[in-house]
Amino acid sequence: MNNNIPISRRSFVAIGVGVTCSNCSFNSTNKKSLNVIQANELPIPELLRGESVNGKQQYNLTMQQGSMDFVIGKKTKTLGYNGNFLGPTLLMYKGENVEINVHNELGEASTTHWHGLHLPPEMDGGPLQKIEHGQSWLASFLIKNEAATYWYHPHLLHKTGEQVYKGLAGLLIIKDTKNSVKLPEQYAVDDIPIIVQDREFDDDGSLYYSGDKLGVKAEHILVNGGIVPNFTAPAQLIRFRILNASNARIYNFGFSDQRQFHQIATDGGLLENPVVLTRLKLSPGERAEIILDLNQQENTQLSFMSFSSEMKNINPFWNKDAMDKNDFTVMTIKVVAATAQAITSLPEKLSDIHFLDETKVKETRILKMKMPMFGAMTINGESMDMDRIDIRVKLNTSEIWEIVNDTDLPHPFHIHAVQFQIIKRDGIKPAKNERGWKDVVLVAPGESVSFITHFSDYANPTIPYMYHCHILEHEDNGMMGQFVIDA
Ligand SMILES: [Cu+2]
């Protein structure tokens, strides 16, 4: 057994000698003007491979209480998996059977959902697979997903927002031994987990969770649990596995020198070819893998930023918060000498995606998201009810779902159990970097997005999967429904 500390020793040392945040001068309406401790070096979650027992790869996760040094002179109470904040990065391989024992020591009930994974409904970790305090839950399934970056987090109805905010989330990386494409994959050297979140602190140093129904956004940016840290990067190709694990904030990522970078993967797999970008918009729940080219750039510095001021189009009302009116640093990057096993060039071909056939679709559904002035948020007029199945799909069929945003706020729509392919965004083919496997899609106010998906396994007429908005406060306030797969 290893000792399962999710954040490396290096990061604790770094946080301990931190400096006052220089990135936190914005004035928001409910600003808590505390001196936070900026992390010196990017914390890296421990990579947890688990143990092979009787042909199954076994992992142990404990949901527990902890504390962090986020604010000068204060202790911040937090939640984490196997540690104080966030959790280890689970490493799994396509084609293997895994068993994850999740133990709850939170002092309250929770669940743990494997976001993006294709698995049986009873193993999904949604609101129905509740784990009471002191109890354990064994999730056991075959890894069928493509190699990509997934994640895990609580999914208890009405509690998801608060529990994730307090620190419960972790990455899950799936690799495929059959994949021969040469990409950076030395964890924490050139293959870097980047979990981006925003948090706010109360006067006593505690995490301030307002529970704002419209979505909780905060003014301090954390990467892997460190406030605006520095990443010391070798001068070579660097892969960022970016997860937006924020409750509600949408980021518009880019670099301080306006350089180009390549997106290589979407939520559920590699793109067919790298896509050149200068901006990457990522909404809550979405992941993207990008390649940053630092060849020959030793002794230079740059910043990983969110150019949020450019997102005015999303909605002036949503962009009311000070961060969204500005561009801000997410992480600084200091470039040092390349390592011995550096990958120096990016392949032109990454994968062959099997695009689903629209002519074979059995059912087309329209799902309309609404936020009534009073009462719960809805999809097709219904607010989440665990005793109601909203949609029944048929095993071995393809469907098109058209997601219509009939509100003034953006909604990242997420469906469990399957990956999908976006067909149209407001009637137009999606951008090149959205032409890959996805499980979350951002739908802007007034916009409609159609995707195609295929239900290939795990028929179960009684245990449902969820679909919902991934702004956690919208989900907690009812913008969620349930579907089952009928044989
Ligand atoms: Cu929403």
Ligand 1 centre to CA of 377 (Å) is 8
So what's the pLDDT on residue 28? 38
Partners of 382 in beta bridges: 379
Ligand 1 centre to CA of 434 (Å) is 20
Confidence tier at 324 by pLDDT (50, 70, 90): confident
Same domain for 129 and 201: no
Ligand 1 centre to CA of 24 (Å) is 27
Instruction: State yes or no: pLDDT of 195 exceeds 80.
Output: yes
User: What domain range includes position 379?
Assistant: 358-486
Predicted confidence (pLDDT) per residue in 212-246, tens digit: 999 999 999 999 999 999 999 999 999 999 999 99
Predicted confidence (pLDDT) per residue in 374-398, tens digit: 788 999 999 999 999 999 999 999 9
Confidence tier at 330 by pLDDT (50, 70, 90): very high
- Ordered strands of the 361-370 beta sheet: 378-379, 361-370, 397-405, 448-455, 420-425
Compute the distance between CA of residue 9 and CA of residue 325 in angstroms, rounded to an integer: 36
Ligand 1 centre to CA of 333 (Å) is 33
Same domain for 295 and 367: no
Predicted confidence (pLDDT) per residue in 333-342, tens digit: 999 999 999 9
Compute the distance between CA of residue 246 and CA of residue 239 in angstroms, rounded to an integer: 21
So what's the pLDDT on residue 4? 36
So what's the pLDDT on residue 314? 65
Predicted confidence (pLDDT) per residue in 36-56, tens digit: 998 889 999 999 999 999 999
| N-terminal to C-terminal alpha carbon distance within the chain | 41
Predicted confidence (pLDDT) per residue in 256-266, tens digit: 999 999 999 99
Same domain for 379 and 291: no
Whole-Å CA distances, 470 to 88, 166, 344, 442: 22, 17, 36, 9
> Closest Cα to residue 419, out of 195, 243, 269?
269
Q: What percent of the chain has pLDDT over 90?
A: 86
- Positive or negative, the CA dihedral 112, 113, 115, 120 is positive
| Residue 23 CB neighbours (<10 A) | 17
Ligand 1 centre to CA of 234 (Å) is 39
> Closest Cα to residue 64, out of 44, 48, 86?
86
Please answer whether residues 246 and 222 qualify as being in contact, where contact means their C-beta atoms are separated by less than 8 angstroms.
Answer: no
Ligand 1 centre to CA of 442 (Å) is 9
Ligand 1 centre to CA of 238 (Å) is 33
Predicted confidence (pLDDT) per residue in 448-463, tens digit: 999 999 999 999 999 9
Instruction: Please indicate, yes or no, if residue 168 is contained in any of the structural domains.
Output: yes
Question: Looking at the 3D structure of the chain, how many domains does it have?
Answer: 3
Ligand 1 centre to CA of 46 (Å) is 32
Ligand 1 centre to CA of 297 (Å) is 41
Ligand 1 centre to CA of 288 (Å) is 20
Ligand 1 centre to CA of 487 (Å) is 31
Same domain for 212 and 171: no
Ligand 1 centre to CA of 470 (Å) is 6
Ligand 1 centre to CA of 96 (Å) is 35
Predicted confidence (pLDDT) per residue in 118-130, tens digit: 999 999 999 999 9
So what's the pLDDT on residue 313? 60
Instruction: Please indicate, yes or no, if residue 480 is contained in any of the structural domains.
Output: yes
Ligand 1 centre to CA of 469 (Å) is 4
Q: What percent of the chain has pLDDT over 70?
A: 91
Ligand 1 centre to CA of 402 (Å) is 16
Same domain for 216 and 112: no
Ligand 1 centre to CA of 126 (Å) is 18
Ligand 1 centre to CA of 188 (Å) is 33
Among 140, 175, 210, give the residue marking a domain's end: 175
Which residues surround the ion ligand 1 when the cut-off is CB under 5 Å? 411, 469, 471, 474
Q: Tell me what the mean pLDDT of segment 404-428 comes to.
A: 96
Instruction: Please indicate, yes or no, if residue 319 is contained in any of the structural domains.
Output: yes
Same domain for 123 and 85: yes
Ligand 1 centre to CA of 30 (Å) is 22
Same domain for 83 and 153: yes
Instruction: Please indicate, yes or no, if residue 233 is contained in any of the structural domains.
Output: yes
**The domain that contains 278 carries what CATH number?**
2.60.40.420
Same domain for 93 and 201: no
Same domain for 313 and 217: yes
Ligand 1 centre to CA of 192 (Å) is 29
Compute the distance between CA of residue 436 and CA of residue 105 in angstroms, rounded to an integer: 38
Compute the distance between CA of residue 80 and CA of residue 112 in angstroms, rounded to an integer: 12
**Burial grade of 47 (CB within 10 A; 0-12, 13-18, 19 or more):** middle
Instruction: State yes or no: pLDDT of 107 exceeds 50.
Output: yes
> Closest Cα to residue 225, out of 416, 420, 477, 36?
36
Compute the distance between CA of residue 430 and CA of residue 265 in angstroms, rounded to an integer: 15
Task: Return all residues near 235 (Cβ < 8 A) that are at least 6 apart.
Answer: 294, 295, 296, 297, 298, 335, 336, 337, 338
Instruction: Please indicate, yes or no, if residue 441 is contained in any of the structural domains.
Output: yes
So what's the pLDDT on residue 92? 98
Ligand 1 centre to CA of 406 (Å) is 11
Ligand 1 centre to CA of 407 (Å) is 9
Whole-Å CA distances, 174 to 148, 149, 244, 417, 456: 5, 6, 18, 16, 20
Ligand 1 centre to CA of 35 (Å) is 31
Two tokens at 351? 């994968």
Instruction: Please indicate, yes or no, if residue 239 is contained in any of the structural domains.
Output: yes
DSSP for 432-447 reads: GGGSS-BSEEEE-TT-
Compute the distance between CA of residue 434 and CA of residue 288 in angstroms, rounded to an integer: 10
